[in-house]
Structure 1
Amino acid sequence: MPAAQGNQRCLGRHREWLLMRDDATAECFLLHLTSQRRVHLPRLLQPPDPGESFALALASNSSETIAHPPDCTVVLSVHENRWLLHCRPGDECWGRVSVFEAMDDDDGRVYVTAMRGIVVVLDATFPVPRVESYKATLPPTCPTHLRTTSHLLLESTGDIFCVRLYLQPYGRQRRVVDVDIHVKPRSKDTWESVDNIGGRAIFIGGHNSSLVSNAAQAKLQPNCIHVLGMPRDGGIPLYTIVLDDMSIRCKLIQGFFDAGGDEAYWAVPICFEQESSKDNAGAVSCEVSGTKLVDEKQGGQKESGDHVSSTSLWSSLPRDLLELIVQEVTFMDSLRLPAVCKGWSGLTRSTPIHNAKSPLLLTTRARTQGRLATFNPMTRKKYDLGIYVSSGDPEPQVLRCSKRGWVLVTEGEGYVSMMNPLKGVILCLPPMDNDYFSGITFISEPGSPDFMVVCVSDWRGLGTMTARTWRNDDEDWTVTESEYQVLFLFPTASHNPVLFDGEFYCLGRDGRLGVFNPNKMTWRVLAKPEPLYDATSMDQNEQRYLVVWKEQLIAIFTVPHGEPMRTFRLDRSQMAWSELEDLSDVVLFMDRRNVLARPATREDLGNRIYVQSFAETDGAATAVFYSVKKRQYCPASYGNIEPVNSIWFEPNL
């Protein structure tokens, strides 16, 4: 676009209009994407800095006027300074209102977020926008992602949607890792948490967003959110959040963007944004059902425990042959074996199952509905368990960690439970008085003498570590706070603590180690090993993990978007990290908070680190892993499917 070249900088987009500023002359104008028409505005002498967050909205009494300015009010909000600029074509200068973050509807109202998250409704049809009313404050953030969020307000048929994106913290190249959605109907002043946006589609890019009310009519996939990431070398990441199965796809749009360039915006035709019908954006009802094993590839379904009529053909098979069959089936398929005939009912209890040693990727189909599904990376099969993990509370459930068939789940503000999805057992723990923590884990199985849940919170590395423990029959959590003095602060990584030599080890973002002793209820930061990274650098965008393998402590540092990982072993004789380039005897399974280590039963499984994503081709799923030897992802990192809420699950009947 010639009109957008040279010193022109795009400050925002509203539908088919761009707000442009000439950085050399301070001239400001609206530019229509299709006709290239310009509408001149007052000079903008003090524009937002490139690093600031800002948003654009055009407001008028009718959508027809917005399509054909100049009869409209231009609203430019700046988040950091908490003020809003406004003008109309023909004005001599910009006015200012002390609110920030704007979006609009088609009747001249502009919804903005003021101090302390209060949503203010402005009537922008007046020369100076007037405050019409104050609505409810923004909904609270998910405690799982306290640090880095970005929220947007959108309007659809009178309802206001608050879409909050959660970004992987630390570093400019942040990636989208989660989302939550709240809706405030026109007739209410309270927010409701929802799992879907109905037949709509949302496009987010730069500091602006667009909502298409009827995605199917626009030949788009409904119930999806499309997010443009920050430009990086070679292109720009495009995240597609599919709310139907609560997964994220990331593609790299290449050839158009350079690192450090301007942000990208969506250009959505106005005909797509016009409301054609009011869709129901309510959440799917939560219910608890019995266990169902559904092979998604075959589309078949069978109730666990239903017995198919036995035949002499199956019941008369020799025992040796049956044992060979059992050793070749997957763990999930082994659950179907008792349904074949009466003679097979006790087969899995007396025969070891070879493929049961492979962890399964356990996912939830929706944040608040909690329908569980699994993916086996070895057999490439997906199964819908048909189990709902929900207490009926609209707060999101988060899968935290898994051991010996048990899964630790947190829900809402401080609610913790233990679940065995294959046995249908749920154990509710006392609620915690804090909903933010760095990591949480457990040892042994519920009911066993040494069962214990451990939770640590570093309060963002400010010199205070809070640890909580819970054991069998405890009425409440045991809490201790430890202040520690170190030369530099110790912000912990986002992984769960690991048990090593009777104590729980936490990895700092810089590579140092912190240790919690559950018997003495003490916390300390080790003087060695020395840091591997500068913890204060915001350019670091790595995830850090700890895992124990063969009585050795292994640290893993990952970088998103396909860049090479780094692995280290703790040399305990020198208390120093030693970089590893070979892991041929182990296969690792990594999610966002945990790493599981298993022996490499085949030569080709060594040096593999399976991640929590998979690729799909013609309906067939392929697990994604990182090759330590080749230093690359297989398949490539971009274009894969990553479930939002998932962990590696260790089945155990």
Structure 2
Amino acid sequence: MGVSECEDLFPSIVSHQPRLMRLPGEPKYEQEFIDPYNHCTVNRKIPHLKGKLCVGCFEDWLLLADEFTKEIFFLHRTLDPKLKVHLPSLCVEYFKCLRGCVVSSSPLSRECLVTFVGNGEFLRGENIILYCRPKRDARWTKLSLSIHSEAFHEFTGQVVRFKGKIYALHGIPIAYRVVVINEDSLLKGHCTWTVVLLPITNHCKHHLVVSCDDMFLVSVTDRFQRQGFPASCIVHRVEISYHTWKRVESIGGCAFFLGRMQSSALPPSQEGAECDCIYIANTYFKKGIYKICLQDQTVSLSFLMKWPERRSQLFWLMPIRVHHSWRRKHEIFSFTHPIGTDKSDTTHVQEEEKKEEKCKVDISRQWADMPIELVELLLPRLYLIDCLRLPSVCKAWNTLANLIQDAKVYPWFLRTTNDKSCLWNLFDPVYRKECSIDMKWLGFSQDISFQFSKDGWVLVLKEDKYLFLINPFTRECIGLPEKDRRKSFAMSFSSSPTNLDCIVLVISYVGRHLLEISTWRPGEDEWDNIYFNYLYNFLVPFNPVFIGGEFYCFCRKGKLLV
């Protein structure tokens, strides 16, 4: 079958966007390609993949194996039979023990080195390396590594190649170290290796990802280990020179795609990729694609997959290498005539040079010269504290409005100190930063308790009877009529008190079977009270939630008070 006949078997979108490729364990099923962005699937029947096991996806090549014929070979993604590179066959025992694989270069190169790490039931306690050069070697070379003699201390299958060294996660069921193998030593018939301990091991699934000139360790925490649901992730960048780990909050705007055996990365310029997002192909009870956004540490199930076959394989199929098209463009722009130079080309170059001169930044200009419209565009991208400091840069920026509303704000943790101080402490769980606000005009913090917060405002109770609505950033304060906290059950308010339709709600006990619901609106001097009978222990002690013009309160036995 020729190339032109095979090109339509792979979905055309795969060439420039990532897809999760599912290879069924049975030949009768079709191959499935899943879009992590648009949540759609495309089914194909590809004869070249029928009944084959996928060992790995390496850029434009698939490493396939036939469990029955013991044939193992590389196949180009064009599915051209001419671009098929055979490797030495493997025995049955090795098929059972292989865990992960890395390739040093293109399989068409004579210098290409294919390396497997593995272990198995018949190799309990033994860790092996299996390698060969497809264009040179007629058989595989096996080396044993005496890393640990105890059972369950094996390679996990997560292995990457980075700057001439092979990094393989080690330790089952939870990896706690990385075995670093010198690739050059394998070509000399022996193996030199070192062990690097991981920075975190408890209840984490680790993934090694190579992105541009860096290597990252992504540790996905699993709060519900049996269900396999990802809760959050911690990212470390590997300092290669010293083999140390540095925790980072961002992955440089890239997108990571994590799989059971392999993980890949896409640059920020790739079409459709979301910045600082990690996609995980989960194969536990809730099979699907989970997306973790590092900017706000949110976890979402973007696609739910269903299939009954136990032998189904999942691999991320990444886009065709971007540098191919870049190289062609570079060759076009660097083309020169053999005799002389075309005047039109000279004119074009001069115009480009003039454009570059106009784009040069004059660092001597004042901040006040920046248009207010541009400054307002920066507000949603600034950290809240930086947003509050923005007007102090220059007088022209003092006219900016809605600083807090437009800032990039996440829920913060607010607390007071137990000592005799007037400080309120704010902790940002996303950026892991803490700041303090001096509230001397309100008195000691130990006499204050927080009841409810919404839209930047906090309902504060002082000395168990004085109620205030306070905005800790703008220092605005609105006093409310007195209320006895000893009888109050729950407190809440609907919206910012600067809105005329704001309602403050307080639920109190006034008798054994009598409940008081008090409401207050801005501008009123006293509470409006409503009384009704209730059953003992009827309500659950949670603050009411306001939505759609109504307050909702939990009740016993699964009931809801509206």
Q: TM-score range by the shorter chain?
A: 0.3 to 0.5
Going by fraction, where is helix more abundant, 1 or 2?
2
Structure number with greater CO (CA < 8 Å, separation at least 6) is 1
| TM-score with structure 2 setting the length | 0.48
| TM-score with structure 1 setting the length | 0.42
**Larger-gyration structure (1/2):** 2
Going by fraction, where is strand more abundant, 1 or 2?
1
